[in-house]
Structure 1
Amino acid sequence: YAAQVNYYLDEDNCWALDINELYRAYQAAKLHCQPRVICIINPGNPTGQVQSKKCIEEVLHFAYEENLFVMSDEVYQDNVYTPDCQFHSFKKVLYEMGPEYFNSVELASFHSTSKGYTGECGFRGGYMEVINMDPEVKAQMVKLLSVRLCPPLAGQAAMDVIVNPPQPDEHSYKQFRQEKSSVLGALADKAKLTEQILNAVPGIKCNPVQGAMYAFPRIFIPPKAVEEAKALGMQPDMFYCLRLLEETGICVVPG
């Protein structure tokens, strides 16, 4: 059976991935299981961070050392909002690390029509690119995919447009660039506005929204609310969520 092993991002460093945290989680997990896969979401969901190239190199080196299959969710790769951040694909970074890494680390990269500047969730389009997968494992994967029905035709068409966008010598290129820039620019403005509004609320702290479509603020619960929660035999976060629901109708989950 599969067991989930959690690792935690560094909130004080804009939700960066600390390689020491990966080693901690890995060593702790080895006491009860043998880790086989590491999953990364970049840009982050729900934390809205964009991992640096150095961070990705460290993750790939870690995967190389520990023989881990890397699953890289990169569906928000077009959603980068801050000028000091840049999206780096795991495949490109792996290639730049040289043949020793590029020819050995198993990697699956994911992309979708549902995010980015398209936002076409209803088309259900997406792809997975796999490199260095063990041939026997790949054969089993192909077998499983072969017995399934064909994905929606509209989703395949939408995905084709994403991976083969209009080129500068095509008539639609100018309009494509304008619409893409307009959508991503509006998302960047909303990301900045969300961050500013959250940070203006007493008791809420929000890191810069570097990418994706999420802000992940921290809520500081007042001491008296913590005391009341304890008196009711509840965790403070659950108490907060229930009071928020009762007083505003907004439903959130504790955690």
Structure 2
Amino acid sequence: MSAPTDDVLSTELHPAGYAVLTLNRPQAMNALNKALMRALADQIDALATNPAVRVLILTGAGRAFCAGLDLKEIGSGQGSLGGSDGRPSGDPVAAIGRYPGPVIGAINGAAVTGGFELALACDVLLASSSARFADTHARIGVAPGWGLSQKLSRAIGAYRAREVSFTGNWVGAEQAAAWGFVNRVLPPDDLLPAARQLAQDMLGTLPHMLTRYKAIINDGWALAGGNAMALEKARAREFNSQVGADDVEQRREAVRARNRAGG
């Protein structure tokens, strides 16, 4: 089922409980102009309040995932290097960060600079074999502001991240998977079906655990190791004190039944 959105963004609401958001400026390699950034951020925030949608899939129309900020719009004076003209409500990366459930990036093609940052904002990345990534901030002469300088080095190590960002060279999908910031690479026709299946697998978990687990991973990621361990322990103590023996037994049996079914 499709939901009406701005022409630059299409949204499919699936009755299983996930939504597919498709960047829809294929003629511009899905570059992020102001209209697309606002539409994407607003739609993510709206879906965050929809109890029928618990997982998002983000992908692009055409041959690219996202070419980054629309430099043509910025060069004409109509856009802003700040991305959303300083409006937090129009920042798609911040909106992904606010979304309480998992966001799956289905990277169908080139993800460049701001598009690379948009991909790294997702919780899990699946890539088409035709996907590729590049950080051209140093070539264009603008500073990253959506996390690329920090997230990439944490994902693949500082030495590899420096090579990527200091050169602006392409990183292919298979290399990205080998380095660990892409979960797996699929043939182009299999990308979206695999993302849908992954969403379904996530939706098979307990709803409150899905959001809690995302929160503890992301909140702990921002801390030093010892502090992150302490945060996990504190939250576990608070949460597990409310879990009854009957609850555990019932859910244990559900997991056993799934294993027997080969799920």
The answer to whether TM tops 0.5 is: no
Whichever structure has more strand as a proportion of its residues is 2
Q: Report which structure shows greater RCO (CA 8 Å, sep ≥6).
A: 1
Of structures 1 and 2, the larger Rg is shown by: 1
TM-score of the pair, normalised by structure 1 = 0.30
Whichever structure has more helix as a proportion of its residues is 2
